[in-house]
A and B are shown apart, each in its own frame.
Chain A
Amino acid sequence: MKSQAEIDKFEKTNTQLEALHNEISMLSKKKPDDAINKFKLQFVNNVLKNANELLGEQYKPFSDFTLFDEDALPTNSDVIMILAQYLNCMEKLRSDNIVCDLGDYYWLIKSQKSKLVTSSPKKLKER
């Protein structure tokens, strides 16, 4: 991470992605093939836009996907699938930018350990 501001932006975006994933999962369980409305889609796209800025080309889940096209009438299950991919890639970005010190995890800013504590990587076993 380049700065504390970027870490703040990451944490906000990640939280929003998780919240959207939870909310739309509920809709998707009920009606997976129903089109998502424009109001929700607008906010999903706003969060994805921030996520794209953080992830960059290196961490972006799909090179040919950037945002949802509202005219393509994406369904609940389409949105859930993409949000899940973004959540995983955000976690990959976080895992690559944290360091363990005496059992606690800290963010790296410009490859240097900072004082900002974070949680352990979700896929700890693989590391």
Chain B
Amino acid sequence: MVLIRPRLTDCFDIPICQEESDFAIPFLDEDIPFCLDPFLLWRSPSMQDTSLHAMLVNSFNYLGFLVNKGEEAAAIEILIKASECNEVGLGFSGTRHGHKIGPKVASEILSLFRLIPQIQKNGFTHFEEIQLYIDQISKDRISDIACTYLKSWLIDYTIDQCQKLGIPTSDITLENIYNTKDNDFKTEKVKLPFNPQDKRPILLVPKRWLRWAPWINCEDYINDYFIKDVSEVKDRLTRIQILNFNRQNYDVVQVYIRQKERTQQDCKNDPLFQPIPILSAKRKFTAIKKLPTGKADNADKQYESYICQLLASLLYPHLDFADEQVRTDSGVQIRDMIFYNNRSIDFLTDIYNEFNSRQLVFELKNVEQIEREHINQLNRYLANEFGSFGVIVSRHNLTRAMFKNTIDLWAGQRRCIIVLTDEDLQLMVDVYESKQRLPIEVVKKKYIEFTRACPV
């Protein structure tokens, strides 16, 4: 069974949606485009989080201790090992496999413990500062270093979550687990969930630690601090020149860090999915209503774009959006919208049980009338992970003949194809605003209307 953009929970058939889970549900084929921000641990009211941050920073500062002791080679080795954590699947890679830093970059990072007297003496308070001194340290590198140092805790957290949710685990030999007692990495045999495709281990990360970009990051430093407050007296500098400037002007960087610490209340974890606001949903629906049917002036593309944004938000959190414009294996056909079926409400459980739909496919048609070919097209998609339930989103209700066609499909092949029209979208947007009912209930209503029309 091939799922589109498979996630760990969907793969093992665990019915949980992202909103309900404490962790970011990892994809099996790609990274979650988020970073573990160490600043969120530092600012957390939880003693556990702040202690973990203290451990993280102490472990990083231990590298400075080694450098100052003249054991730079050992420090480089530790830093290289710490620089990538593939098990968490965070970052911006399309494959879940990143690369470690090279000895040259590691040496540059460690040189900070020699070149800047204040760091040599006191170490870092926020190790993400290294982005402000060294080039080629991206935001996901900070996240990876933090994850490697926290790996031992993440293993316990992952085991705990797997036990709670019933996610299968397997005995896996995991490398590069940082041990704070001897400040080195060790290898352990632990029970962890795994990617069924390549059997690689997976670590879960709490949502509360995730942000698009770390609170302290180079772009923010340059755009919102350096250019505004510092560069007035300087000529326009390149990024490399700014990093060099920072190494020579530690106090300037510290003012920025203090400023970020002062505004810590604004530092919040980013939601993994942000539904569009009500006003935006209403505007999108108004724009849809004004669109002509057909393909003139790219109306069909605009229709698909609006509907994708609208439905992904309207159906959240009951249906997690998986992907849009997904090609079939042969590459010939494109399914317009795919949702994970998390069985979060009774109706979705029914769809799962009755039609075996682990993912739901929505086909978008900006046409005046749905024709037999449109229904047949969706019918062809209904196989494997999609089960035998599909939704056509179109402008107007089915004609009597086409509705009869869908009923016949149910009678003959037990396929359920329902149609959402502009009228239904209007109701969904209305209830999205009034909060009196759930937009997903409009889909349920259409399903019930369909089943009542089916022969007994």
Binding site for B on A (CB under 8 A): 31, 33-38, 71-73
Tell me if B430 is interfacial: C-beta within 8 Å of chain A: yes
- Cβ–Cβ < 8 Å partners of A73 in chain B: 427, 431, 437, 441-442, 445
Tell me if B274 is interfacial: C-beta within 8 Å of chain A: no
Tell me if B436 is interfacial: C-beta within 8 Å of chain A: yes
Complex interface residues of chain B between 399 and 456 (CB less than 8 A to chain A): 426-427, 430-431, 434, 436-437, 441-442, 444-445, 448
Given contacts A34-B431, A35-B430, A73-B445, 6 further A-B contacts (CB under 8 A): A31-B434, A33-B427, A34-B436, A35-B427, A37-B437, A72-B445
State A36–B441 Cα separation when bound (angstroms). Answer: 12
Interface size range on B against A: 10 to 19
Cβ A71 vs Cβ B448 within 8 A: yes
A38 to B, closest residue via Cβ = B437
State A50–B427 Cα separation when bound (angstroms). Answer: 30
State A73–B427 Cα separation when bound (angstroms). Answer: 9
State A37–B441 Cα separation when bound (angstroms). Answer: 11
Q: Is the interface of B mostly helix, strand, loop or mixed?
A: helix
- Cβ–Cβ < 8 Å partners of A36 in chain B: 436-437
B426 to A, closest residue via Cβ = A33
**What's the minimum C-beta distance from A37 to chain B, rounded to whole angstroms?**
4
- Cβ–Cβ < 8 Å partners of A71 in chain B: 441, 444-445, 448
B437 to A, closest residue via Cβ = A35
State A20–B139 Cα separation when bound (angstroms). Answer: 57
CB 8 Å contact bits of B282-321 with A (1 = contact, 0 = none): 0000000000000000000000000000000000000000
Given A71-B444, A72-B445, A73-B441, A31:B430 Cβ within 8 A: yes
Selected A-B contacts with CB under 8 Å, 7 pairs: A34-B434, A34-B436, A36-B437, A37-B437, A71-B448, A73-B427, A73-B445
State A36–B436 Cα separation when bound (angstroms). Answer: 6
State A28–B287 Cα separation when bound (angstroms). Answer: 26
- Cβ–Cβ < 8 Å partners of B427 in chain A: 33, 35, 73
State A121–B309 Cα separation when bound (angstroms). Answer: 56
**What's the minimum C-beta distance from A29 to chain B, rounded to whole angstroms?**
14
B445 to A, closest residue via Cβ = A73
State A72–B427 Cα separation when bound (angstroms). Answer: 12
Most buried by A among B442, B444, B445: B445
**What's the minimum C-beta distance from B396 to chain A, rounded to whole angstroms?**
18
State A38–B445 Cα separation when bound (angstroms). Answer: 14
B424 to A, closest residue via Cβ = A73
**What's the minimum C-beta distance from B21 to chain A, rounded to whole angstroms?**
26
- Cβ–Cβ < 8 Å partners of B442 in chain A: 73
State A72–B426 Cα separation when bound (angstroms). Answer: 15
Cβ A33 vs Cβ B444 within 8 A: no
- Cβ–Cβ < 8 Å partners of A35 in chain B: 427, 430-431, 434, 436-437, 441
Cβ A34 vs Cβ B448 within 8 A: no
Most buried by A among B434, B442, B444, B448: B434
A35 to B, closest residue via Cβ = B437
Cβ A33 vs Cβ B430 within 8 A: yes
Cβ A34 vs Cβ B430 within 8 A: yes
B447 to A, closest residue via Cβ = A71
**What's the minimum C-beta distance from A40 to chain B, rounded to whole angstroms?**
8
State A31–B430 Cα separation when bound (angstroms). Answer: 9
State A34–B436 Cα separation when bound (angstroms). Answer: 8
State A72–B444 Cα separation when bound (angstroms). Answer: 9
